Structure 1
Amino acid sequence: MAPETIRKRRNDVHKEQEAVDEKKVESEDAKVVKPKYGPYVTFPYQRVWSRCILILGVMLIVWYNSKNSKEVVLARQKDILVSRALNVECSDDYKSELDKFSGCLPEKCGRVVTDKLVSASEADMLLRFAKSGLKLGEVDGGVKILDLQSGALSKGDKFINVYSLKEAQKLFNSADFAIYKVVKTKIQHAIAHHFGVNANKIYLTKPTFFSQITNIPAKTIHDEYWQPHVDKETYKSFHYTSLLYLSDYGRDFEGGRFIYIDKNGVNTTVEPRKGRISMFTSGSENLHAVEKVTLGTRYALTVSFTCDKDYATSDPNFDKIKDI
């Protein structure tokens, strides 16, 4: 056979093989690429939408976990509340004791928060009052207390009578005590209203005190404000407790939230807000603690009421200082 004929046949065989290979590849590609139920659906910005769906899914998971967490916020610092209440079942010991005092047993035990009871100017004046007195004391730990009835002020690991100091005559004035009395009366009537008791059946009891808390480590057991406790067990006379916050959580200090500790393992928190009043029944239904302050200074005023006339006390007043 001539060389040219051999060369031509080789080329024809080679072309036939290439055609077979191409058909084989196309067949394999068709098996891999071709969808079982027709062509894939595509749309504009497919990748962007896919990412959005993924992010939304993550957010839903986070929301679900937070919803089922063991902490409920009763009042945030940014909230401005006319009134927000959370009812809880009264403890048996609290109910049995208050049965002795006509018109003093609450319709429902619980917690109430309001930001509309005390004005901004009243809160400012009370904060100035608190700072004026508290600066006369010195403490090694992070808690400083000024009892308005007795004048007891934290001084190291003891207490001194601030009213006996000459500086007190210059620091305090009758307007300080007048504002305190106005605020105390507002709180008394608010407690009566929210818990359904007669305002004339609850009486101011001691101690009534300003508190200053910082992040200085505790030196004595009195500095360990974060320990869970029941007011009725700490102060036998207490039946209704109120706290007036004089500084802002997240602005003036970090940490320091008020935490109710319930039997079902859920913590209910109140974030302090300047001028905010938090009121609650003082029995074991309201076991609570204060979160550790991690930064800044937390100021508050505690005002409490009793149903027992034997534990009633009069309002502190400026004349008491002048007579010392």
Structure 2
Amino acid sequence: MAPLRRSGSKATEGSSSAGVELAESRRLDSIKKNRVHHESQRKWLKISLLGSSGLLASLLLWSFLNGDDGVTEVLAHHNEILQNRFIEVICSEDYDSHKRFEGCTPRKCGRGITDIVITREEAEQLRRVAEKGLSLGGSEGGASILDLHSGALSFGKHFVNLYRYFGAKIQDIFSEEDFQLYRDVRQKIQHTIGQAFDINISSMYLTKPTFFSRINSTEAKTTHDEYWHPHIDKITYGSFDYTSLLYLSDYMKDFGGGRFVFMEEGVNKTVEPRAGRVSFFTSGSENLHRVEKVHWGTRYAITISFTCNPDHGIGDPADL
């Protein structure tokens, strides 16, 4: 019987050894599977991070190219035709520090946009006027102006009076039709502002500066080229009571960036330029604004402003 007990002992020992080997094998398999799983997780995490980084970079690039550097609401898209869009806002106290003119000084404040006052053909003709005048000079930086009233013209890093600087040659640049178109457009815009703010246009006077602007992506050379800073027209110029801009080129066709931005707490309001579009507003701090940097192409516009103070009024530019 003793040999049988020894045989049983050996069988037990063999079975125990096999169990240990099996357990070790399973443990190694488990470790291997966990390692593969973790490596797979790290791989997908890396891919996910790279994808997210790529998406973020794309969004940032899109945001940069489109000039959207904050939370904005578009008041006027470039591909829509607006009849008369008007948004009333509470007037600021800026007008209280100036002499008030009953029936003209803003008591109703706001901003308006219309695409039906000036035709695209008129805008294109005015753009050619701007191009002819600015071909005589232009800033070394990204922003140039042409003022047909005072004769101010960007010229390198400075300004010249184009009427004195070029003399009789000006008659070969501008025609009598150019000046008549300018007057007609100014009158249409003045009527539009008068109707929107319920004022008699005879109480409004054209004021300076009223000028053509040409903006491109060239790096600024002087402070005159830094057009993108927020400002308030009533504080900057004093005489302004109503400001208007007539756009002479198209956003995302002729240029990128360069949208007009009404700056407000929370959500800025933007206007996308469109040839023939008129944007107008009361000039106080209720309409703090700026222009986005132009990233490509060339943006043309004309600023036409009005005052209620006859002492600050100017006449239309005379025929040459």
So what's the TM-score if we normalise by structure 2?
A: 0.75
1:96-115 equivalences in 2 (<5 Å) = 96-97=96-97, 100-115=100-115
User: Given that residues 247 and 300 in structure 1 are in contact (C-alpha distance below 8 angstroms), is that contact kept between their aligned partners in structure 2?
Assistant: yes
Alignment gaps of 5+ in structure 1:
1-68, 320-324
2:304 maps to what in 1?
303
Displacement of 1:107: 4.7
The structural deviation recorded for 1:265 is 2.5
1:222 and 2:248 are equivalent in the alignment? no
1:123 aligns with: 123
Please name the residue that 1:271 is paired with.
272
Length, aligned pairs only = 249
1:230-254 deviations in whole A, cap 9, x for unaligned? Answer: 0111111110000000000000000
By how many angstroms is 1:168 displaced? Answer: 1.7
Where 1:155 maps in the other structure, the secondary structure is strand
Structure 2: how far apart are the matches of 1:76 and 1:98? Answer: 35
Q: Secondary structure at the match of 2:314?
A: coil
Q: Is the 8 A contact 1:203 1:307 kept in 2?
A: yes
Shift of 1:291: 0.3
Give the corresponding residue for 1:141.
141
Separation in 2 of the partners of 1:202 and 1:211? Answer: 23
2:234 to 214, 225, 232: 232
Which letter maps to 2:116?
K
Unaligned runs of 5+ in 2: 1-69
C-alpha distance in 2, partners of 1:221/1:98?
A: 28
Deviation at residue 169 of structure 1 after TM alignment: 1.5
Please show how residues 141-180 of structure 1 align to structure 2 within 5 Å.
141-164=141-164, 165=166, 166-180=168-182
| Distance in 1 of aligned mates of 2:284 and 2:84 | 21
User: Which range moved further: 121-130 or 210-219?
Assistant: 121-130
Residue 202 in structure 1 maps to residue 237 in structure 2: no
The runs of at least 4 consecutive aligned structure 1 residues that moved more than 6 Å come to none
- What displacement does 1:105 show? 3.1
What is the alpha-carbon distance in structure 2 between the residues aligned to residue 90 and residue 273 of structure 1?
27
Matched residue, 1:189: 191
What residue number does 1:92 align with?
A: 93
Q: What residue identity is the alignment partner of 2:240?
A: F
Is contact 1:141-1:220 (8 Å) kept? yes
The SS at the match of 2:149 is coil
Tell me the distance in 2 between the aligned counterparts of 1:99 and 1:196: 20
SS of the residue aligned with 1:116? coil
Which position in structure 1 is the counterpart of 2:282?
A: 281
How far does the alpha carbon of each residue in 1:195-238 deviate from its partner, in whole angstroms, 9 at most, with x for none?
Answer: 11111111001111000000001111111111000011111111
CA RMSD, aligned part only? 1.3
Q: TM-score, normalised by structure 1?
A: 0.75
